[in-house]
Amino acid sequence: MISIFKVFNPLNVLWLAILMFILRIGYIAHVPDKLEFTFVEPFARLLVPVSYEYAFSPTANVFWAGVLVLAQALLLNYLVNHFNLLGRPTFLPSLMYVTLTALFAPFMVLSAPLICNFLVIWMLFKLFSFYKSDDAKSTAYDVGMIVAIGSIIYLPYIFLFLSIWIALIVFKPFNWREWVSGILGYLTIFFFFAVFYYLNNRLGGFSHIWAPLGSKFPNRININYYNYLVLIPVLLILVLYFFKLQQNYYKSYVQVRKSFQLLFVIFLIGSLSFYIKAEFNLNHFLLCAVPAAVFFSYYFINANVKWMYESLYLLLLISIIYFQFNTF
């Protein structure tokens, strides 16, 4: 499987669609009777003045989620090849993204974090362009607006604002105007949002939008650890990725090294920003799928022992399908 996707062949799109169906077949067989889909935060509900939460049947919900995942996989693949992050054209990023978005049942349905992954990919196009940009003020402003839009869809996305400043540190010499541009971009969207609140006589509650940001980081989360055994091959691949990256780090171009630093920061932000939501939901970690897919791709494209990397990926596939049918 890995050998097929290592080559940049347009026919891999067909294999990708087939694999996506196979990875979701266990969930489709046990799909719940009702699936709720909410793609804006409660404070932005007035922007969508119709009832849409159960507009899709469960089967349609899973189908459209798969369509979005496939589109995002192809966009991510284009991003990685455009900036030459893996050293050669390949279809591995799309394969890894489709695989990672099937790890858990909440990943396979329509959700706000899934929608936000379009914004994550869009942001990465902008942030990676800092490296060759003489003046990044307009780009930082654009990314600030993207983060604001993402915050309206899914509030924890607000933490990705930090990635703008970190990207400026990584890619550019310090320029305070560029740092302020990101803030202005974010404030622009929420200025118009405040006007919308005012026109609907709700301006008094505008400041409550950010109240969840004051939530304390939880000391404990109640989860069934048996359901997370699927992460064992994921963690193993991540460890192997870090070893490969360490071996080849100084052999890579400066832009590639800096890009992987930024991806790691985004991965950490996505991992740690779950706590401001009242209820812990696994679909939050879809925000980590984009950088994780690039990490996985880096390992597999640089792995030399075929039986080992093919077996490792096969183990991951089997684990995903097995735990879809066995939820303990």
Residue 223 has pLDDT above 80, yes or no: no
Residue 180 has pLDDT above 90, yes or no: yes
Band of pLDDT at residue 119, cut at 50, 70 and 90: very high
Q: What is the pLDDT of residues 230-254, one digit of tens each?
A: 888 899 999 999 888 888 877 778 8
Half-sphere exposure of 260 (CA within 13 A, CB side): 23
Average pLDDT on 260-275 reads 91
Cα 135 to Cα 142, 144, 161, 177: the distances in Å are 13, 16, 19, 10
Residue 56 has pLDDT above 90, yes or no: no
Residue 304 has pLDDT above 90, yes or no: no
Band of pLDDT at residue 276, cut at 50, 70 and 90: confident
Rounded to an integer, what distance in angstroms lies between the CA atom of residue 1 and that of residue 3? 5
Specify the higher pLDDT residue, 51 or 197.
Answer: 197
Poorest-confidence range of 30-39, 102-111, 283-292?
30-39
Short-list 144, 138, 141, CA closest to 162: 144
Question: Which pLDDT score, from 0 to 100, does residue 92 have?
Answer: 93
Average pLDDT on 2-27 reads 87
Question: Which pLDDT score, from 0 to 100, does residue 288 have?
Answer: 93
Band of pLDDT at residue 77, cut at 50, 70 and 90: very high
| pTM score, whole prediction | 0.92
Helix residue ranges per DSSP H, the chain: 2-6, 12-29, 58-82, 92-100, 112-128, 137-153, 161-171, 176-199, 231-248, 254-272, 289-302, 306-325
Rounded to an integer, what distance in angstroms lies between the CA atom of residue 152 and that of residue 154? 6
Residues in contact with 221: Cβ distance below 8 Å, sequence separation at least 6, in sequence order: 280
Q: Is 145 exposed, middle or buried (0-12, 13-18, 19+ CB in 10 A)?
A: middle
Sign, CA dihedral 286-290-291-295, equals positive
Band of pLDDT at residue 98, cut at 50, 70 and 90: very high
Residue 219 has pLDDT above 80, yes or no: no
Short-list 64, 55, 82, 69, CA closest to 13: 69
